[in-house]
Structure 1
Amino acid sequence: MRKLLTLILSSLIATSLAAHPHIFVDTGLELITSDAGEMTHVRVTWEYDEFYSLLITEDMGLDGDGDGLLTEAELDRLSGFDMNWIEGFNGDLVARLGETEIPLSDPQEVTASFAEGRITTTHLRAFEEPIPAGETLVMKAYDPTYYTAYELSRPVRVEGSGTCDVRRKAPKLDNELRELQQQLATLDAEMDPEDVGLPDIGAQMAGSVHVTCAAS
């Protein structure tokens, strides 16, 4: 059975690497506020696509009986598999106030779960400085190279006291963006889009979240 799975995976890999992106992640955000209405932290949820989840569980030797369930020991091993960040990596998450980028802490409170063939992980990050009430925070989840596609398809909410306005904005699907998508589809799997004149392509493809909290 394992040999058959290896053959299937090899075939799927050859097919999936025909174009960008290669990994798909349903993403959710939870902004955490203080009693004064300041945004202090963001909890990030990543739910990986079934194919990538299968690759990870197979590579780590998890779910050996193939029942789609992981033991507590296996979940402990899985937890943090996507947190081995190199120095300078921003976690594929950018937060801005106007034109100013807001630094975020390293990930904390890491969790992992597995259900219906998909891995879901969460981690918490603190804003270097709390976002004052009344200011609009703009967040984008994206990989600049577009190797990984982050879709803000999971809940985006605020936890804490006070009233906050949360708005999602999809990327504007104009002729320029359609042309970029067509160019991406023709790229060799191992080619970096920036090498062919498509810098920061992930940012252009990404939607954004705009959050403003009133003072308590």
Structure 2
Amino acid sequence: MTRKLAILTTLMGLMVPAAAFAHPHIFVEARLEVVAGDDGNIKELRNVWRFDEVFSSTVLLDFDKNKNLKLDPDELKAVGTTVKQSLADFDYYTNITQNGKKIDIAPPEVINVDYKDGQLLMFFAVKPATPMPLKGDMTFGVWDPTLYTSLDFATDKDIVAEGAGFKACQHKVVRPNPDEVIAQNQKTLTQAFFNDPMGTTMSKLFATRIDVTC
């Protein structure tokens, strides 16, 4: 196992063989704000992730170098740096399309991390790699293609479009029904899909997203 895979195993559990049974092992309460800029382009996507207590305690054990049972500023910074490096290949779980075309993601400048009440929190913003005008049919979502990490938006207010540029657009939060997705895609949702630890584009069928038409 390469060093990169070791980091992923330790911190995010994304690519280990145990992920062959594709169901969540890490649970995240998420918030996503899609922000429109004054120039008529997408400015940034702001993320807030709150991890479950079990995973958070694992991170504490791995990164609490001075063993004081908390994450000091330098240790929190180390977590953020590791996550930034580890999730680059996954576009930081950020998925954007415009008129059906996938939009590339630029890496965040920094991933800020905090540890409160036994839970790990991460705050960061990403941008389209090139200017993305508010035009056409767009989708914005955050999900793990491997299905190993579950990012849950508790309410529709946790995945929103903000900024004056969106006032001329229509947008709605889409929450697919898993049973309906499976029933409608029985031929393509094969056992190989669920046993593929790298995930496939089919995982988007299950993901909560916000659709915008301008």
- The alignment's TM-score, normalised by the length of structure 2, stands at 0.70
User: Which residue in the other structure is 2:176 paired with?
Assistant: 171
1:60-83 deviation per Cα after TM superposition (whole angstroms, max 9, x unaligned):
1268444xx543343333333311
Q: CA RMSD in A?
A: 3.5
For these two proteins, the number of residue pairs brought into alignment is 187
Closer/same/farther in 2, CA of residues 163 and 100 from structure 1, 3 Å limit = closer
Closer/same/farther in 2, CA of residues 173 and 51 from structure 1, 3 Å limit = same
1:109: Cα distance to partner? 3.1
User: Which residue in the other structure is 1:54 paired with?
Assistant: 57
Residues 141 and 210 of structure 2 are in contact (CA less than 8 Å); yes or no, is this contact kept in structure 1? yes
Secondary structure in 2 aligned to 1:82? helix
1:110-129 to structure 2, matched below 5 A, reads 110-129=111-130
CA distance in 1, matches of 2:213, 2:45: 14
User: Which residue in the other structure is 1:183 paired with?
Assistant: none
1:160: Cα distance to partner? 3.9
CA distance in 2, matches of 1:20, 1:41: 30
Amino acid aligned to 2:32: L
Secondary structure in 2 aligned to 1:84? helix
Residues 108 and 126 of structure 2 are in contact (CA less than 8 Å); yes or no, is this contact kept in structure 1? yes
Q: Which has the larger radius of gyration?
A: 1
User: Which residue in the other structure is 1:142 paired with?
Assistant: 143
Closer/same/farther in 2, CA of residues 122 and 142 from structure 1, 3 Å limit = same
User: Which residue in the other structure is 1:82 paired with?
Assistant: 83
Residues 105 and 127 of structure 2 are in contact (CA less than 8 Å); yes or no, is this contact kept in structure 1? yes
User: Which residue in the other structure is 2:211 paired with?
Assistant: 210
1:143-158 to structure 2, matched below 5 A, reads 143-153=144-154, 155-158=158-161
Residues 37 and 161 of structure 1 are in contact (CA less than 8 Å); yes or no, is this contact kept in structure 2? no
1:201: Cα distance to partner? 5.2
CA distance in 2, matches of 1:77, 1:100: 34
1:66-123 deviation per Cα after TM superposition (whole angstroms, max 9, x unaligned):
4xx5433433333333112376432222100121111110122321111121111122
Residues 93 and 140 of structure 1 are in contact (CA less than 8 Å); yes or no, is this contact kept in structure 2? yes
Unaligned runs of 5+ in 1: 1-15, 181-186
Residues 146 and 201 of structure 1 are in contact (CA less than 8 Å); yes or no, is this contact kept in structure 2? no
- The alignment status of 1:41 with 2:49, answered yes or no, reads no
- The alignment's TM-score, normalised by the length of structure 1, stands at 0.69
Amino acid aligned to 2:124: H
- The alignment status of 1:30 with 2:33, answered yes or no, reads yes
User: Which residue in the other structure is 2:107 paired with?
Assistant: 106
CA distance in 2, matches of 1:80, 1:102: 24
Secondary structure in 2 aligned to 1:146? coil
Secondary structure in 2 aligned to 1:80? helix
Amino acid aligned to 2:174: K
Amino acid aligned to 1:108: E
1:163: Cα distance to partner? 4.1
CA distance in 2, matches of 1:19, 1:131: 33
